A = this chain, B = another copy of it.
């Protein structure tokens, strides 16, 4: 089996690659070839016995999609996107990368399908940013997409394209609406939502972190391990069962910031909690108010997608996967 990962150098892409290498198979077939693509050259995994192609390529550039599809990968993970903040600041770039790039990919597959019946499984990462306030809690599966960012708009449009191209039989697609990934490994970044991870990750290693919002803010989380699990499960399940509605809100954990902090206290003690410095930020508080508090995810759960059920579990996964298993 040949697997193509577009956006392989990102956090989720790297973890997905590791998981595929560790599993060695997908859908009951051995993974023979990995093609890893991103706008920075992805690193080849160390211990993969098959063949690996690491490519620097921009999906929004003419010809890239056709070239990637030429070798007819069996499964395509399309994770590439510029993030919300950048898409909001650079309107044209957001539409070029997040919408046009995706459409080039879908059309390259469609043309290959028309040529020789090629019909890969396509797993696309969408986002909870496709919804926007005012929102009910929990948000039902049949709630409309009313994004309040260009990024969310681009993801919602790609979801519609994915359903239509799947309906027409050009590929067998599934859109995975990822919760906010928590705890994100790495350094604190400037994403407005970064604090959800920062207030756990930094104190766990004795570093200070800033909390810009109140403890009553409720949001929707899943671990990086769950995110990868969603993608693997999305690549595996029978999509006939999913029917024509191909975009699924993933399960996750709905928790307040206060509940995050209580879990940190249980696992790392009061000393860790004391490292959280409160610095209210009006802008982040306003943005937060429009974010999704949580989804029902009824369909995804019924299809076997699973996520964490407590923040203790999310923190323990971070300790296992990022900190060598101990504090």
Which residues of A come within 8 Å of B, CB atoms?
A: 91, 110, 132, 141-148, 150, 153, 156-157, 160-161, 163-164, 167-168, 244-245
Contacts and interface: CB of A to CB of B under 8 A. Distances in A.
A143 B164 CA distance: 18
A146 B245 contact: yes
B145 A144 contact: yes
A143 B142 contact: yes
Which 8 residue pairs of A and B lie closest in terms of their CB atoms, listed nearest first?
A153-B164, A144-B144, A157-B157, A142-B144, A153-B160, A146-B245, A156-B160, A157-B160
Given A132-B244, A244-B132, A147 B168 contact: no
Contacts of A144: 141-145
Chain copies in complex: 2
A177 to B, nearest CB: 12
Contacts of A146: 163, 244-245
Contacts of A153: 160-161, 163-164
Given A156-B160, A160-B153, A244 B148 contact: yes
14 contacts: A91-B168, A141-B144, A142-B144, A144-B144, A146-B244, A146-B245, A147-B160, A147-B163, A147-B164, A148-B244, A150-B164, A150-B168, A153-B161, A153-B164
A110 B94 CA distance: 15
Contacts of A164: 147, 150, 153
A153 to B, nearest CB: 4
A142 to B, nearest CB: 5
